[in-house]
Structure 1
Amino acid sequence: MDLVLWIVAGLLAAVFLATGLLKLTRTKAQLAASGLGWTEDFGAGTIKAIGATEVLAALGLILPAVTGIAPVLVPLAAIGLVLVMAGAIVVHARRHETPLLVANAVLLVLAAFVAWGRLGPYAF
């Protein structure tokens, strides 16, 4: 089970590092043009903050466990991603973006799984 948690955390870290960096490096207009219509509902600063949160959470899923420095941050990062995905689900539900709801729900469940595993039976 420890290996499964590592794999899930690694996949989550890769997804959120990529999406976070995308939000940090592109303008609001570029993001909207690339199909992220939800960005029209938020200010540029908020979008950058979401991107920074995703990048920090991605790093928090891996680095504390690898370095052995404050490994309690791993489940906390996972809980943070659960909250980010809950917010994303609300936004996409309001915009009637069903395919994105499914993707966000899957990511939420995976992050909750990592949080459960690392806070409970498979803590570091």
Structure 2
Amino acid sequence: MDIAYWIVAGLLALFYAYAGGVKIVRSRDGLRPMMAWVDRMPLPAVRAIGVLELLGAVGLVLPPLTGVAPWLALAAAIGFVLLQLGAIPVHLTSGDRQIALNATLVVVAAVTAWLATTWL
């Protein structure tokens, strides 16, 4: 189970570290080609989502790695499930019907949460 967790959580953490970093540093114009929904949100909200994604990525890796508060990995994975469940309606109401990535991230984050119960 540990190896499976590190593979799945590592990939999820890499994805969210990149996505969060991009939301933090790029301008609205730089984000628009890959995220059509940024025009519907205030830029501080987009930046806040980026910070949460970056913190969640750290939360998936650092606590189990150090052994300090490993339950935070479970909390981070559940947070990513909730984040994507909230993202799906945003995509659907904006006319962007491409939610396959969001659905995949829900499943991967749920599997990560299940695997994170190893440390409870």
Residue 87 of structure 1 deviates from its aligned partner by 1.1
**Match in the other structure for 2:24:** 24
Partner amino acid, structure 2, of 1:15: F
Runs ≥4 in structure 1, deviation > 3 angstroms?
A: none
Map 1:1-124 onto structure 2 (within 5 A): 1-32=1-32, 34-99=33-98, 101-119=99-117, 122-123=118-119
Structure 1 length as normaliser, TM-score? Answer: 0.91
Q: Distance in 1 between matches of 2:104 and 2:76?
A: 17
Q: Report SS of the residue matched to 1:98.
A: coil
For 1:109 and 1:97, locate their aligned partners in 2 and report how far apart those are by CA, in whole Å: 20
Distance 2:21 2:45 in 1: 14
For residues 68 and 62 of structure 1, the distance between their equivalents in structure 2, rounded to whole angstroms, comes to 10
- Cα distance in 1 for residues equivalent to 2:108 and 2:2: 14
TM-score normalized by structure 2?
A: 0.94
Distance 1:56 1:107 in 2: 17
Q: In the TM superposition, what is the alpha-carbon distance from 1:2 to its structure 2 partner?
A: 2.3
Percent identity (aligned): 41
Which 10-residue stretch deviates more, 89-98 or 12-21?
89-98
Uncovered stretches (5+) of structure 1, i.e. residues with no partner: none
Unaligned runs of 5+ in 2: none
